[in-house]
C-alpha cells in the first residue's frame, strides 16, 4: 500500500487553484488541444514560441482576434500549422473571458467545482468551449491541479470490470452511471478523483 501511495498524485487545494491567472488557464488548455493527436514532446518544445505569438495567452487579447489575424499568426515561424486548433484559441479565450467575468476569475470558477457536479461541469466545458471535450479537458485540468478523472485505456478497462460502463463514457446514461460510481467511491474511501482515477488504472496495469 505504501508503494501505491507514493505513486498517487493529488489535486491542489482550492486556494491554490483560485490563485492561478486567467492566461495560464488558456495556455494550458490550448496546449492540451494541440497535443491531442500530436506528439506531446513536439508541442511542448514549440510551446514557448507559441506563447510569444499569442502574447502570453492574454484572454482579453486572444478573444478579440479575427480569423484573418489568426490565419496570419498560424503562419508565423514556430507555430503549429493547424487551423481548427489555432482557431480554438480565440473561441476558448472568449468562453474563458465570459466565465472569468461571471465568477471573478477562472481560478475562482474552477476552484468551485465539486464532485457532485463533476460530470455536469465537464459537459459544460465541452459545450461552451472548443475542442475541450473528453480527455483534452481532463488532461488540462489535471495539469493545473483541479480534481479530475482521466480515462486512459487502463482506467476504462477498470470501469468496465466494475460494471460501471461498457466502454469509455459518451452517452448521457454512461456519464450518469459514472457520476453515481465516483460519488460512491469517494464517499467510501475519502479519496480525491485524482486518486480514484489512478487507483483504477493501477488495478489493471
CATH T-level assignment (fold) for domain 14-116: Endonuclease III; domain 1 (1.10.340)
Give, for 85, the enclosing helix (H) or strand (E).
helix 83-103
Neighbours of 145 (CB within 10 A): 19
Q: Which three cell numbers stand for residue 106?
A: 477562472
Residue 145 cell numbers, joined: 491541479
Would you kindly state where each structural domain of the chain is located, as residue ranges? 14-116, 150-204
- The three cell numbers locating residue 19: 490563485
Nearest to 145 by CA among 5, 11, 8: 11
Q: How far is CA 191 from CA 45, 53, 158, 188, in A?
A: 34, 40, 17, 8
> Nearest Cα to 169, choosing from 142, 200, 143?
200
- Here the cell at position 67 is 480569423
Q: Are 138 and 151 in contact (CB under 8 A)?
A: yes
DSSP assignments along 16-32, one per residue? HHHTS-HHHHHHHHHHH
Per-residue pLDDT tens, the chain, 205 aa: give them. Answer: 557 787 898 999 999 999 999 999 999 999 999 999 999 999 999 999 999 999 999 999 999 999 999 999 999 999 999 999 999 999 999 999 999 999 999 999 999 999 999 999 999 999 999 999 989 999 999 999 999 999 899 999 999 999 999 999 999 999 999 999 999 999 999 999 999 999 999 998 6
Apex 48 CA angle, 87 and 56, nearest 5? 60
Amino acid at each position: 500500500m505504501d508503494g501505491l501511495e507514493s505513486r498517487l498524485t493529488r489535486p491542489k487545494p482550492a486556494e491554490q487553484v483560485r490563485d492561478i491567472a486567467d492566461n495560464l488557464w488558456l495556455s494550458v488548455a490550448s496546449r492540451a488541444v494541440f497535443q491531442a493527436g500530436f506528439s506531446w514532446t513536439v508541442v511542448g518544445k514549440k510551446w514557448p514560441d507559441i506563447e510569444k505569438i499569442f502574447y502570453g495567452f492574454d484572454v482579453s487579447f486572444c478573444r478579440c482576434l479575427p480569423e484573418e489575424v489568426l490565419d496570419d499568426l498560424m503562419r508565423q515561424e514556430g507555430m503549429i500549422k493547424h487551423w481548427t486548433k489555432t482557431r480554438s484559441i480565440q473561441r476558448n479565450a472568449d468562453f474563458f473571458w465570459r466565465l472569468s467575468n461571471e465568477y471573478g476569475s477562472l481560478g475562482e470558477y474552477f476552484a468551485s467545482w465539486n464532485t457532485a457536479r463533476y460530470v455536469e461541469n465537464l459537459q459544460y466545458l465541452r459545450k461552451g468551449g472548443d475542442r475541450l471535450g473528453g480527455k483534452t479537458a481532463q488532461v488540462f485540468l489535471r495539469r493545473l491541479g483541479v480534481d479530475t478523472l482521466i480515462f486512459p485505456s487502463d482506467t476504462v478497462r477498470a470501469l468496465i470490470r466494475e460494471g460501471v460502463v461498457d466502454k469509455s463514457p459518451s452517452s448521457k446514461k454512461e456519464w450518469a452511471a459514472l457520476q453515481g460510481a465516483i460519488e460512491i467511491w469517494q464517499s467510501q474511501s475519502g479519496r480525491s478523483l485524482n486518486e480514484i482515477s489512478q487507483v483504477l488504472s493501477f488495478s489493471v496495469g
